[in-house]
Structure 1
């Protein structure tokens, strides 16, 4: 097994973009933010103009699925120290906004935001070094798919401007500033997000094939439910068996199944947990899971 590797970044421009996105989406008061150095009146005016710019457009878009937001993320994936957006492959009006607000962000809050990111990276690297190899091996076993060979770019920002927190395509955007992403949960969420790259491909394909064979149509959250449960259970088991650490998986601790997927709880207990315990093979588990899953979303 080749170890998954993570290319961590606390990049100034990527963080500035997500700072403005989060403030605009969450409708936070600029005056009440935890500034390192409180902005002067003229600086608050610059910040307000930048937030208004985001409110008019980017705050209405999905950072993960919207093509414009995907392009901005790729365009901002540059050297961590870069503070001038001139010449980047992002919209020209955004370049102007970022360049105008960058000195204010740098003076007033970047130091503490960068520290938050660096602290998160440090603790997560240590956890990964201790437990990541076994967590990866078990996820690959249950998902029947390997992690990417090349390093996964992982951009750490304080907040992502999304309700769910982290988001991932081939690149991870991870929040260092959320309490629910700290401590041992950081390790689970690192591998949860990493498994969004390609690791769930076999799972998704198997579910789709069974749905087609069973003449079931529509979209299903089944793959995401099983991914969440698998990564959480693997992390819990590895921490207990390797270091006698008690850990409650993220989705259980935060009531995610009850809030978003209560209709899948019986399926997890009756099908997927037996699969993880070796009582079912992958094909049979997928067949039973699809056959027992609730009605598709229309």
Structure 2
């Protein structure tokens, strides 16, 4: 049997061949998960059974080949909650917490304690679950089309104790939009990568579902179609909030304004990139 210290070194060496910067973090995450120990290196001389060591080395090898760490572990944290994930569902990212924060700020400012919210292109359900955790009395619906993502969405709502209505359907289907009316807030992190982005994807991202990534030639297809279709579902004075890619903020702002939304507020993520926008549906006269 090898010691934890020896196993860590072997795994780190494997992963460092691909990415020196993340090798320590990735190795520690794998050991934490498979050894069931939050601080595996506090006892570096503890022996690791051969079968367990082989399993850990196998994951390190796959990571060194560019397979996403999050898929290897089968779960990832978002907003302090754990989400089950795997191939077929988009990996939750810290950037998306900016969108959650913006929606929560709207609710605090407008004194909404029981808002009616629709989360479109819900994927793993990380946005819907985070909002439900912070707004327990909110009426939240999550809409997702993918047959592969849907089981994760349902599992994550149960895992995190979130009573969220799940609709299996296409966000671009008018019959779905007609089911959800008088919304206080519509929130979405839709596919927004351009055709050029898709051609230049990192190896890790290539494992994620293209349907959750590709937003058309300029990355804006979903923003155009969803805003036009769903604006009637939002009540006058209600809000729409989107996440988007780097450099897309002016185009998304223009799409919102063209569809009768005003007071567009742009927000930067933790890396300083303008990442989200929220706007108000003009009051009916």
Task: Give me the TM-score of the superposition, normalised by structure 2.
Answer: 0.35
Higher strand share: 2
Return the structure number with greater helix share. Answer: 1
TM-score (structure 1 length as normaliser) = 0.34
* Structure possessing the higher relative contact order (Cα contacts under 8 Å, 6 or more residues apart): 1
